[in-house]
A and B are shown apart, each in its own frame.
Chain A
Amino acid sequence: MAVPRNLRRQPANGSLVSHCTHHHIAVFLLTFFSYSLLHASRKTFSNVKVSISSQWTPSDINTTTLELQPYELWNSSHLFPNAEEATLFLGTLDTIFLFSYAVGLFVSGIVGDRLNLRWVLSFGMCSSALVEFVFGTLTEWLHFYNKWFYCCLWVMNGLLQSTGWPCVVAIMGNWFGKAGRGFVFGLWSACASVGNILGAFLASCVLQYGYEYAFLVTASVQFAGGIIVFFGLLISPKEVGLPELGEEQEGSAEEDANKPLISNDEDEDDQNYSIQAPDTRNQPKAIGFFQACCLPGVVLYSLAYACLKLVNYSFFFWLPFYLSENFGWKEAEADRLSIWYDVGGIVGGTIQGLISDMLQKRAPVLAISLLLAIGSLFGYSRSPNSKPINAFIMAITGFFIGGPSNMISSAISADLGRQELVRGNSEALATVTGIVDGTGSIGAAVGQYLVSLIQDNLGWMWVFYFFILMTSSTILFISPLLVREIRFLLHERHLCTQTG
């Protein structure tokens, strides 16, 4: 009897289209652009590093035989004696930001689940914008340059920016059910890359007026985005009276459409989750941090994501440097070429999300993609000095690494946070997203330091071997889940061939 199989396959397309209201579109766009704006301001900081470094140092004495006059115009800024020290400090600021961002992710997830997600998100966006304004614009207008002040502000910025991701993933998880979740989230994860492009564009437009205006523009736009989000974002369908996920399908063949793709037991009963009258429904209780950690799959996926985000982030961050050092290409060209990695990641996330939706299993798709990623990393390390070939291999690598990375941080986090163990009784989505991404960010922060260490001492080939090692560790961490899901798939197929 092939009926159960067909029915099970239908919902993936049917329910995605059937209950896509204008609210869904608005939520998609608002969360998409709010995270883009948060990411844009991070990219702004990276793009103005050269200008800030000039502002903090006196003129380079080696290039001129005599000291340049007038003194106030060329030599009066002595925050750092030369450009190398300034660059070192800027790298330190990056690391500080990453670590405070990682810590903040753990906290923000918990806070988001307990407080109103909309309030947390708009508060995070607006206050982060204010901190960025003080960091870049106010210090320049007041000519107040102080290293400790910059460090403190950037720690605050990391903590405030971390409110973004758990909240937006949780809100998306509230609106978009398991059916089609992989595809929707894959498409939606493009928000980080769009934010990068937006930030680079805004910064390059106003950099001629001074780096302080780059900060002013991105901070102001982010603040405006926070206001729009506050007025327009609906965090859950029940806010407008629409049925919440898991309540719509009662007694229909779509009953397992909202069963998360990661499940422990195969025979569960959906009858408990029929629509309840609103006034008798209690506010779901948020679960604790350790309870969230103990949910099945959370720890494994967090560790896997730590290894993967290390590779993803280090590859993306060090790529322009590697290209200009290894092949001698100019930094602007290397910057532009590294966009292909991002593009590969977006396409990979979307396609792999779609495939995992159709299979209704995520881990096998991840594993295959990561195995192929090892091959492409190896190929990239041997890539010739040719821009088209390099860009092509870079896009392929982005496809195989960025794809799983996007999936784990978005769709799979949503799966984990809405599994049947917690659904209906407590809110766990933001907490789980915070845990997964927080662990990932710690991995990324450690990776920044390790890559520069390895590259200094052993060379670029060993950096690629290190990336291959990390990718293999990712596969290792998800192998228990992989085994379970493959076993389930085979069992399912065996059942169908037996009965059909």
Chain B
Amino acid sequence: QPCRPQAGSRSGARHHRGWVQFGGLVCPGPVRNGSSVAGYCAARPALELQGRCCLSREPELELELGNGVLMWDPSVCSDLTENPLENIPNTSFQGFTRLQSISLPRALECPGGSMAWDLNTTHGDSRTCQGQRNLCNSSGELAWLCPENSQCSPDGPGLVQCMCSGRYHGYKCLREGTFPLLLFYGTLGAVTTILSLLAWGSQRRKAKAS
């Protein structure tokens, strides 16, 4: 059956870091039997199965429709099978560090490649990727080298980011610590006042008007 926007969805884009934009639409209908999504949803009381998605009961995680494109939060809606998706760009999953399981059409690769997942199984014409790996720890092809003063942290399946470590901050982690402004200006003000008074007292006090 053709895919349509799910009934009851609101229009207008909501910009939230977790939203992913796809050119395709999620097909309504029940989650297929044996899908890992169903098991995942059943196990957690805070989540409920709506159509093919396992959603949280809180309102901000609803599906929304904007400009003909469906935006959804794959951190919970993890069943993308039977979607006319051709290619998911790698950066689409940026930020989904807690995505533990996702089901895709079999033709698609696991996001980030098979190295990014512990388990990569196929059932019929769907593929399930489970257990996101932390690529920072791996010592394989992606032995990640972050620049000075930064350390590697995961940024989604197959993605890593370099965040500033320790007390370093600022652009390119060049800055360390905070400058003691108050102490500096306090000392400078005091010294300047004393020296100015000293100088004026010893030198200019007897000066003729100029």
Residues of A within 8 A of B (CB): 22-23, 26, 30, 51, 54-55, 59, 63-64, 68-70, 73-74, 76-77, 116, 118, 206, 208-210, 213, 216-217, 220-221, 224, 227-228, 231-235, 238-241
Q: Among the interface residues B159, B199, B202, B207, which one has the most CB atoms of the partner chain A within 10 A? A: B199
**How far is B174's CA from A59's CA once the two chains are assembled, in angstroms?**
12
Determine how close the nearest CB of chain B comes to the CB of A453; give it in whole angstroms: 33
Contact A232 B171 (CB under 8 A): no
Taking a contact as CB atoms under 8 Å apart, the answer to whether B160 and A73 are in contact is no
Note all chain B residues with C-beta closer than 8 A to A235: 210
Complex alpha-carbon distance, A486 and B175, angstroms? 60
* Chain B residues whose CB sits within 8 angstroms of the CB of A69 once the complex forms: 94, 155, 159-162
- Residue from B160, B164, B174 whose CB has the most chain A CB atoms within 10 Å: B174
Inter-subunit contact A73/B162 (CB<8 Å): yes
> Across the interface, which residues of A come within 8 angstroms of B146, CB to CB?
68
Contact A64 B179 (CB under 8 A): no
Cβ distance A444 to chain B, nearest Cβ, rounded Å: 32
For A216, the chain B residues whose CB sits under 8 A away are 179
CA A238 to CA B208, docked complex, whole Å:
8
Q: Judge if B196 is at the interface, Cβ distance under 8 Å.
A: yes
Complex Cα distance, B192 from A54, in Å, reads 34
In the complex, the number of residue pairs spanning A and B with C-beta atoms less than 8 Å apart equals 104
Query: Which of these, B155, B161, B164, B170, contacts A210 with CB under 8 Å?
Result: B170
Partner among A55, A68, A118 whose Cβ is within 8 Å of the Cβ of B162? A68
**Complex CA distance for A76 and B185, rounded to whole angstroms:** 32
Task: Give the B interface residue count (CB, 8 A).
Answer: 39
Q: Which of A73, A118, A217, A232 contacts B200 (CB 8 A)?
A: A232
* Cβ B196 vs Cβ A54 within 8 A: no
Q: Which chain A residue has the least Cβ–Cβ distance from B155?
A: A69
Q: Is there a chain A Cβ closer than 8 Å to B163's Cβ?
A: yes
Q: Is B3 an interface residue (CB 8 A)?
A: no
A210-B202 contact given A69-B160, A227-B196, A228-B192, CB 8 Å threshold: no
A-B contact pairs, 21 of them (CB 8 A): A22-B202, A26-B199, A59-B147, A69-B159, A70-B161, A74-B162, A116-B210, A210-B170, A210-B179, A224-B188, A224-B192, A228-B199, A231-B196, A231-B199, A231-B200, A231-B204, A232-B195, A233-B203, A239-B208, A240-B203, A240-B206
Pick from A22, A30, A59, A220: contact of B172, CB below 8 A.
A59
A207 to chain B, nearest CB (A): 9
- Residues of A contacting B172 with CB < 8 Å? 54-55, 59, 73-74
Tell yes or no: B178 within 8 A of A by CB: yes
The answer for the CA separation of A234 and B200 in the assembled complex, in Å, is 10
Taking a contact as CB atoms closer than 8 A, the residue among B171, B179, B206 that contacts A77 in the complex is B171
Distance, CA A55 to CA B200, complexed state (A): 43
Shortest CB-to-CB span from B45 to chain A, Å, is 34
A210 and B174 in contact, given A227-B196, A232-B200 (Cβ under 8 angstroms): yes
Distance of A80 from chain B, by nearest CB (Å) = 14
